[in-house]
Amino acid sequence: MFDLDRWIEIFQTLSKNKLRTALSGFTIAFAILLFTLLFGVGNGLKHTFEKQFARDAINSVYIRSGKTTKPYKGLQSGRQIQFRNDDSKFMNDKFEDEIQFFSPNIQRFNVQAIYKGEQNRYTIRGVYPDYQPLESAVTQEGRFLTYLDIERRAKVIAIGRLVEEDLFGQLSALGKNITLDGISYKVIGVFNDPGGDKDERFIYAPFTTIQGIYKPNDEIDQFGLTFNQNLSVEKALAFSNLLTKMLKEKHNVDPRDQSAIRVFNYAERTKKTQAFMIALNIIILFIGIGTLVAGIIGISNIMVYIVKERTKELGIRKALGATPKSIIGMIMMESIFVTALAGYIGLLIGVFSLKALGKSLEGYGILNPSVETYVIIGATIVLIIAGTIAGYIPAKRAASIKPIVALNDE
């Protein structure tokens, strides 16, 4: 039950001992402040790391061709490997269960795009509709490509958000026609991409349309696919290794040749990412626990000192009839109040500091430094509990001392 007299007494005690109160409050506030800043910076590093890998789906596999570096089966080194349409059928037939989304890809760089008086140069990609999830592209207006566009060899395009901004300003590009290398295409959709500005300056067109214009001999630049998400990292890596082996056999490439056919499996990167994130979480947790332990030790030392300093006062209280229970309760209430108030102040300073420093820290590779509310509340509760225990132990010891002994304490 709320005891007004008790709280008046507590506030009087705290006001009479400003230095002692400030010292204990500073220790607690600094512990929470440091905890908040360290966790915030740690989370900022995690956000930066996650953004670096937000460009493509985490289960993506990209297959590119190059030149052979070793002679094989009577064929000379330096031979350019060229993918064609039959490679698409080959992979889909052999790995029907492992492949989730699949798209061949033809790229044309530095294509001149013109809309009325505005013009710029972009990369145009001829792809299948399955390419959208590979790039994690999100349709902002209109739609992405469809298989009907592929079948009809339609002259339609989906453009990145920044392409729309460059050529159309504040106007919508949807339904408008853009000239690309002298050929008119209708804009059917606008997308944004978590990969950032570079990925939002791509233009996507139906694969069959671009192949018919730029690759009349059924040539393909590269392939993109996603593996079945039910595959473990180990099975996904085994799948890409077998895929690489079979493509090398199909194109008569030495199994030891690393340049002729290159398969980039994001599963390997995911495995490394997971290991890094686990290590980073452990480091952050270790630092956080260390900070809290330091704060707990500081609170404990201060509470022992405070109770020791108040030995005579407690002796007088006992001599005037105060019970051990009331003495312990008073000291614990003081401890809990100071810990909670100082912890909250430290929390506010830490959160506002992270918000104020957020933009300036981006230059150091720390993106959006922040701390989950439940983490800080949990840390504050831990310190409050520690403050309670730290106040209880010396208070109980002091309350058990006889008044005459307490009064004679030097």
What is the pLDDT, as a whole number, of residue 308? Answer: 67
Tokens of 378: 């949990």
Tokens of 367: 């993106």
Model pLDDT for residues 370-409, shown as the tens digit of each residue: 777 777 777 777 777 776 776 677 777 766 766 665 555 5
What is the pLDDT, as a whole number, of residue 106? Answer: 96
310 φ/ψ sector (left φ>0, alpha ψ -120 to 50, else beta):
alpha
Question: Predicted confidence band at 55 (pLDDT cuts at 50, 70, 90)?
Answer: low
C-alpha distances (whole Å) from 400 to each of 79, 94, 248, 317 are 92, 82, 84, 12
User: Burial level of 52, CB count in 10 A (0-12/13-18/19+)?
Assistant: middle
What is the pLDDT, as a whole number, of residue 17? Answer: 67
Model pLDDT for residues 199-234, shown as the tens digit of each residue: 899 999 999 999 999 998 899 999 999 988 888 888
Give the distance from CA 76 to its chain's centroid.
47
Tokens of 8: 């008046």
Model pLDDT for residues 86-130, shown as the tens digit of each residue: 999 999 999 998 999 999 999 999 999 999 989 999 999 999 999
Q: How far apart are the first and last CA of the chain?
A: 36
Mean pLDDT of 236-257: 92
Between CA 200 and CA 205, with CA 201 as vertex, the angle to 5 degrees is: 100
Question: Predicted confidence band at 10 (pLDDT cuts at 50, 70, 90)?
Answer: low
Model pLDDT for residues 282-295, shown as the tens digit of each residue: 877 777 777 777 76
Q: How far apart are CA 381 and CA 374, in angstroms?
A: 10
Q: Dihedral of CA 229/232/237/238: which sign?
A: negative
pTM for the full model?
A: 0.63
Mean pLDDT of 72-87: 92
Mean pLDDT of 363-374: 72
Say whether pLDDT at 1 is over 60.
Answer: no
Given the structure tokens 């400030």, which residue do they identify? 22
Mean pLDDT of 266-284: 74
| Dihedral angle computed from the Cα positions of residues 244, 246, 248 and 252, in that order, rounded to the nearest 10 degrees | 180
Of the listed ranges 189-193, 343-347, 375-379, the least confidently predicted one is 375-379
Where do the DSSP E strands lie in 175-236?
177-180, 183-192, 202-206, 219-220, 222-227
